[in-house]
Structure formats: C-alpha cells, structure tokens
Amino acid sequence: MSQVFEVVGSVFVVLGALVFASAALGLLRFPDTYTRISAVGTAGGVGMALVIVGALSLQPTVPDAFKAVAIIALQLATSAVGSIAIARSAYLTGTPLYEPRFDELAEESDPDEREEARLAREERETPRDVE
C-alpha cells in the first residue's frame, strides 16, 4: 500500500514541476504582459497544488492532510488575486496588448487617461543620459 502512495506522490510532484516548467517556457515565448501573467498565475496555483498533493502522498499523515487542504485553498486564492492585481495595474498603466482581436475594456475606459499613463511609463523607462 505504501508503494502505491509513493508512486502516486512521485507522479504528482513531477507533474507539478512540469507545470512550472511550462510556465517558464510561457514566460519566454508568450508575446505580451497579459499572456505571461496568465502563465505564471496558473503555475503558481495549479503547480503548487500538485506538488503539495504529491508531498502529502509521499508522507501521508492525518494532520498533514488538513494542512495540505489549507495550503492549496490559500495558494489558489492568493495566486489568482495576485495575478488579477498585477494584470489590472498593467492595464491601468497603459501596457499595450499584443495584436488584440477585440478589446471591450478599451471601449469603456478613458483613452486620454490611458495614453497619459502610457507616456508617463515610457518616460520612466527611457534611460536618461548620465552626466
């Protein structure tokens, strides 16, 4: 029986690591801020959950099971809310989308305000000449 737990645990840990690896690949390959945030948000939630379940299965005890449930619930919630906060601030500071097919948020938000934020951001990012 313990061997079953060991195999299942190892499989989950490896799956979780693979989710992190694919998110890292996504960070490199996805074209803009929003798609990259999406990749990281998923890895932070799903990848962590898989690794925790795997670790629990490798050393299963009842107290640890309760801890694992708490960890997964908190991790999923905070990862999601954190991603939303980053994405929201990215949009508010005027970060452009990569080749958007449709953007119904732009129709609602003030274009001047976004343009202003974009210009301010660009000015911050432009390296100044060192005297």
Partner 1 sequence: MSWVTWPVRIVGLALWFAKEIVVSSAAVLRDNFTPGQNSTPGIARLETRCRTDLEITLFASMITITPGTLTLGTDVVGDEQTRVLYVHGMYAADADALRAELRVMENKVLHAVRREGARS
Long-range CB contacts (within 8 A, 24+) of 48-53: 48/16, 48/72, 48/75, 48/79, 49/16, 49/75, 49/76, 50/12, 50/13, 50/15, 50/16, 50/19, 51/12, 51/13, 51/16, 51/17, 53/12
Q: How far is the CB of 81 from partner 1 (least distance, A)?
A: 6
Closest by CA to 75, choosing from 41, 37, 120, is 41
Q: How far is the CB of 100 from partner 1 (least distance, A)?
A: 5
List contacts with partner 1 (CB under 8 A).
Answer: 19, 22, 25-26, 29-32, 34-35, 37-39, 41-42, 45-46, 76-77, 79-81, 83-84, 87-88, 91, 97-106, 108
Q: Which is nearer to partner 1, 13 or 40 (CB)?
A: 40
Q: Which is nearer to partner 1, 7 or 21 (CB)?
A: 21
Q: Are 57 and 13 in contact (CB under 8 A)?
A: no
Q: Which is nearer to partner 1, 99 or 123 (CB)?
A: 99
Q: How far is the CB of 26 from partner 1 (least distance, A)?
A: 6
Q: Which is nearer to partner 1, 104 or 131 (CB)?
A: 104
